[in-house]
């Protein structure tokens, strides 16, 4: 038995596969304790050597720029799941100026945890009811070779095999368009199909790495669940990586 609830930190906040690779033990608490202590000690050593520097700013991210050095530019910007509470367009507008223009691989990462619940709640309810009827058992068994997982009543056993590409792309387009209502209504009124994600993103000076081709290099587009059962994931977590639009790509 866990000494703490299994659906809160550290089990949701640390990747079980990384923990297991570092130190496998029968006791999950001991395993996580050893791994987290290792990470903290490694971080402490780097801080003492001046390899890590951090700054804490208590501010809305939309009003953060006055607290930052105008000289500093960044190779990577991770925005956690701010996109669950603000349109992605707002994030791109706010953080794109902070990316290092000279680095073609500079990247801005947006994450979302609750996009399906917010925008497709009725569809999600249907999927949760019909998951076992969608012929996903075979895919789960082929992937895991674990009959216990396949026989589980938990939706987490099947949801990673559910194709939600169309819904997620619709969510991204809506979140990008949310910053420009003048563009949304003419499209809607005239029955014009929504532009592609990259066509919309280009207006912010960015393009996304194609997550359908596994082009993400900083964070996985989505986390497979069944190989990390201790990590309490919903199966709906998604991460998109946005890179600068250079002149050769803008045509």
HEC letters along 71-131: CCCECEEECCCHHHCCCHHHHHHHHHHHECCCCCCCEEEEEECCHHHHHCHHHHHHHHHHH
Residue that is written with structure tokens 């906040």 in the block: 13
Average pLDDT, the chain: 86
Cβ pair 96, 206 in contact under 8 A = yes
Kindly report whether the global pTM for this prediction surpasses the value 0.85.
yes
The SS3 call for residue 216 is coil
Return left, alpha or beta for 135; rule: phi > 0 is left, psi -120 to 50 is alpha, else beta. Answer: left
Return left, alpha or beta for 214; rule: phi > 0 is left, psi -120 to 50 is alpha, else beta. Answer: left
Q: How many CB atoms lie within 10 A of CB 241?
A: 22
Q: How confident is the model at residue 155 (pLDDT cuts 50, 70, 90)?
A: confident
**Is the same domain home to 10 and 90?**
no
**Is the same domain home to 73 and 40?**
no
Give the sign of the dihedral formed by CA 198, CA 202, CA 207, CA 208. Answer: negative
Of 244, 235, 247, 242, whose CA–CA distance to 117 is shortest? 235
Residue 220 has pLDDT above 80, yes or no: yes
Q: Which two tokens stand for residue 230?
A: 């201790």
**Is the same domain home to 162 and 189?**
yes
Phi, psi of 73 (to 5 degrees): -125, 160
**Is the same domain home to 31 and 149?**
no
Average pLDDT over every residue of 217-244:
93
Q: How confident is the model at residue 156 (pLDDT cuts 50, 70, 90)?
A: confident
Which distant-in-sequence residues (6+ apart) come within 8 Å of 41 by Cβ? none
Per-residue pLDDT, 188: 52
Give the sign of the dihedral formed by CA 161, CA 26, CA 8, CA 216. Answer: negative
Per-residue pLDDT, 251: 43
Q: How confident is the model at residue 248 (pLDDT cuts 50, 70, 90)?
A: very low
Q: How many CA atoms lie within 13 A of 23 on its CB side?
A: 13
| Residue-wise pLDDT tens digits, 5-63 | 666 667 788 899 999 999 999 988 899 999 999 999 999 999 999 999 888 999 898 88
**Is the same domain home to 94 and 14?**
no
Which residues span the domain enclosing 219?
Answer: 60-249
**Is the same domain home to 234 and 177?**
yes
Q: What is the number of domains present in the chain?
A: 2
Residue 153 has pLDDT above 60, yes or no: yes
**Is the same domain home to 118 and 215?**
yes
CA distance 201 to 89: 8
**Is the same domain home to 129 and 227?**
yes
Q: How confident is the model at residue 171 (pLDDT cuts 50, 70, 90)?
A: very high
**Is the same domain home to 149 and 221?**
yes
């Amino acid at each position: 038995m866990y000494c703490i609830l299994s659906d809160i930190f550290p089990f949701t906040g640390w990747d079980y596969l990384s923990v297991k690779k570092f130190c496998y033990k029968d006791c999950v608490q001991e395993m996580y304790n050893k791994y987290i202590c290792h990470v903290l000690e490694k971080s402490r050593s780097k801080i003492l050597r001046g390899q890590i520097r951090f700054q804490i700013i208590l501010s809305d991210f939309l009003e953060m720029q006055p607290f930052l050095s105008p000289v500093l530019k960044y190779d990577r910007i991770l925005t956690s799941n701010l996109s669950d509470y603000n349109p992605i367009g707002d994030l791109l507008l706010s953080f794109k100026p902070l990316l290092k223009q000279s680095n073609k691989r500079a990247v801005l990462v947006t994450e979302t945890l609750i996009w399906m619940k917010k925008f497709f709640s009725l569809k999600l309810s249907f999927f949760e009811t019909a998951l076992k009827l969608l012929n996903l058992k075979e895919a789960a068994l082929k992937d895991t070779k674990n009959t216990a997982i396949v026989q589980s009543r938990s939706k987490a056993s099947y949801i990673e095999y559910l194709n939600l590409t169309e819904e997620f792309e619709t969510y991204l387009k809506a979140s990008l368009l949310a910053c420009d209502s003048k563009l949304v209504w003419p499209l809607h009124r005239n029955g014009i199909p929504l532009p592609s994600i990259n066509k919309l993103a280009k207006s912010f000076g960015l393009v996304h790495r194609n997550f359908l081709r596994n082009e993400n290099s900083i964070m996985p587009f989505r986390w497979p669940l069944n190989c990390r059962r201790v990590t309490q994931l919903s199966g709906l977590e998604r991460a998109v990586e946005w890179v600068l639009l250079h002149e050769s790509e803008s045509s």
